[in-house]
Amino acid sequence: MLNRSESLSVFVSRLILGRHFLLQLFHSKSISGRRRHNLRGDEDIDKIRFQKTKGRQEEGFIRLLKSREIGPGTGNLTWRLLEACEKVVAVEIDKRMVEILRSRAAESGLEDRLTVICSDALKIEFPRVDLVVANIPYAISSPLVAKLVFGMNPFRSATLLFQKEFARRLLANPGDSEFNRLAVNVKLVADVEFIIDVSKRDFLPCPKVDSSVIKIWPKARVPDVDLHEWWAFTRMCFGKKNKTLGATFKQKKKVIELYQLSRRSNEDGVSDEGGCSSFSCSGVEMNLLREKIVWVLKSNGFEDKRPSKLSNEELLHLLSCFNQAGICFHDHAETRDTNSALLATS
């Protein structure tokens, strides 16, 4: 039951993982080769109901116009979402599951409220929705999260079931051993909240690892930064996240890489306000660029700091300092149509 004190994320989490809710009608290896693990269920499947309380709705769940479910399977969670939403868009890669969903929708007279897209969730453009819900194959966790938070269509929140280890990485903060580039990139544009852990014994077939439910919602205000530049910068910083920035950027390989980027930017006539094409590359020697990099790090107090302990605000400040000095990390001559999920996680 959804009462006034219960948050949307906790309630949706119960729908996803409650052992008295999801009845396993069908489980198999999907045609894509991704293993599907369904949550256990029993004879109490019909005991869970939505309670439409009067007055203020917690996070407006009952007022949702449209939700999107990724990997709906046979539709047990889908039907509960339909009780609360005017429209549900389900993305399912397995054609056998799609047939079951459409058949159930026809029998229930819900064809006009349920849209089933038979496709790979990583390859389609997501429609505009309010809420995203998914018990997803763990193998696509990173690119799916990146696709959601960096996608063109905004959403109110996403409640997702992840492998516990991945969830910890996504929740990690500076200084944590699990802190990583994915967390840095995601938290630039979204907030992440832990909801609840799920035992592997709650799944059928039983996987080898435990899981966690995580809630993600876009930030109201996002830093004014070129995302392609940011992704390239964090990739270079977090290649060896526990090395000092001085040690990382003094490497000959890194200096050469940045030198080549500056040359391409200059040759293509790219001129950004941040000064990213200020090099006269035909006359710049490698040692001059290296000295400039060291100067930026030293003068701003970053030479002996490690990426694994820096906040996003500190990383944004360092990137701005590099750009103002004419040092860029992204090839601005390249197309901007590259998959954002790939750029943010590779």
Radius of gyration of the chain (CA): 23
Same structural domain, 212 and 244: no
Domain presence at residue 311: yes
Return the structure tokens found at 28: 């198999």
Q: Name the residue with higher pLDDT: 252 or 14.
A: 252
Return phi, psi of residue 71, to 5°: 70, 60
| 2 domain-assigned | no
ω into 207 cis (within 30 of 0): no
pLDDT above 90 as % of the chain: 39
Of 186, 147, 142, 184, whose CA–CA distance to 163 is shortest?
A: 142
311: pLDDT strictly greater than 70: yes
What pLDDT, in 10s, does the model give residues 27-85? 323 333 444 444 444 333 332 222 222 332 222 232 334 555 566 666 667 877 887 78
* Residue 321 shares a structural domain with residue 275: yes
Neighbours of 3 (CB within 10 A): 9
**Cβ burial 173-200 (10 Å sphere, 16+ → b, else e):** ebeeeebbbbbbbbbbbbebeebeebee
Residues 165 and 38 in one domain: yes
- φ, ψ of residue 20 to 5 degrees: the values are -100, 15
What is the pLDDT confidence band of residue 265, given thresholds at 50, 70 and 90? Answer: low
Q: Is residue 336 scored above 50 in pLDDT? A: yes
Whether residue 246 sits in one domain with residue 193: no
Q: What is the pLDDT of residues 125-149, one digit of tens each?
A: 888 888 888 887 788 899 999 999 9
Dig out the tokens for 84 from the structure: 């609360």
For residue 79, the one-letter residue type is W
Same domain for 124 and 163, yes or no, is yes
Indicate whether 3 belongs to any domain: no
Residue 17 lies in a domain: yes
Whether residues 82 and 193 share a domain: the answer is yes
pLDDT for res 31? 32
Find the CATH number of the domain harbouring 279.
1.10.8.480
Alpha carbon distance 334, 337 (integer Å): 9
* Contacts for 52 with CB less than 8 Å, ≥ 6 apart: 62
> How would residue 270 be classed by pLDDT, with cut points 50, 70 and 90?
very low
Residue 188 CA to residue 185 CA, distance in Å, equals 5
Residue 305 has a pLDDT of 97
Whether 191 and 123 map to the same domain: the answer is yes
Any idea which of 23-27, 94-98, 147-151, 167-171 has the lowest mean pLDDT? Answer: 23-27
Report the SS3 class of residue 127: coil
Asked if residue 93 lies in contact with residue 107, where contact means CB atoms within 8 angstroms, the answer is no
Quote helix, strand, coil % in the chain, to nearest 5.
40, 15, 45
| Domain extent for 340 | 227-345
Band of residue 167 on the pLDDT scale cut at 50, 70, 90: very high
Q: Give residue 43's pLDDT.
A: 33
- What are phi and psi for residue 212, nearest 5 degrees? -145, 150
The answer to whether 212 touches 161, Cβ cutoff 8 Å, is yes
Give the tens place of pLDDT for each residue, 182-236. 999 999 999 999 999 999 888 777 888 899 999 999 999 999 999 999 999 999 9
pTM: 0.74
Instruction: Decide if pLDDT at 260 tops 80.
Output: yes
Average pLDDT, the chain: 75
Residue type, 136: I
174, 244, 320 from 314: Cα distances, Å: 11, 14, 10
Indicate if 57 and 153 belong to the same structural domain: yes
pLDDT of residue 72: 64
Specify whether 235 is located in the same domain as 213: no
Q: Which tokens in the block code for residue 100?
A: 């079951």
- Least confident stretch, 58-62, 234-238, 264-268, 309-313: 58-62
The pLDDT assigned to 277 comes to 45
Whether residue 169 has pLDDT greater than 90: yes
Q: Taking a C-beta distance cutoff of 8 angstroms, is the pair 208, 30 a contact?
A: no
3-state secondary structure of 87: strand
Structure tokens at 38: 């369904």
If asked whether residues 171 and 248 sit together in one domain, one would say no
87 and 166 share a domain? Answer: yes
Find the Cα–Cα–Cα–Cα dihedral 315, 318, 324, 330, rounded to 10°.
-50
Q: How confident is the model at residue 121 (pLDDT cuts 50, 70, 90)?
A: confident
Q: Are 40 and 180 in the same domain? A: yes
Both tokens assigned to 149: 């938070």
| Overall domain count for the chain | 2
Classify residue 20 as exposed, middle or buried by CB count within 10 Å of its CB (0-12, 13-18, 19+): middle
Q: Is residue 195 part of a domain?
A: yes
292-310 pLDDT, tens digit per residue, is 999 999 999 999 999 999 9
Helices (H) and strands (E) in the chain, counts: 12, 9
Comparing 334 with 165, the larger pLDDT belongs to 165
Q: Which of 166, 192, 218 is the last residue of a domain?
A: 218
User: Can you give 167-234 as a three-state secondary structure string?
Assistant: HHHHHCCCCCCCCCHHHHHHHHHEEEEEEEEECHHHEECCCCCCEEEEEEEECCCCCCCCHHHHHHHH
What distance in Å separates the CA atoms of residue 13 and residue 285, rounded to the nearest whole number? 57
Listed residues 198, 218, 238: the one ending a domain:
218
d(CA 102, CA 108): 10
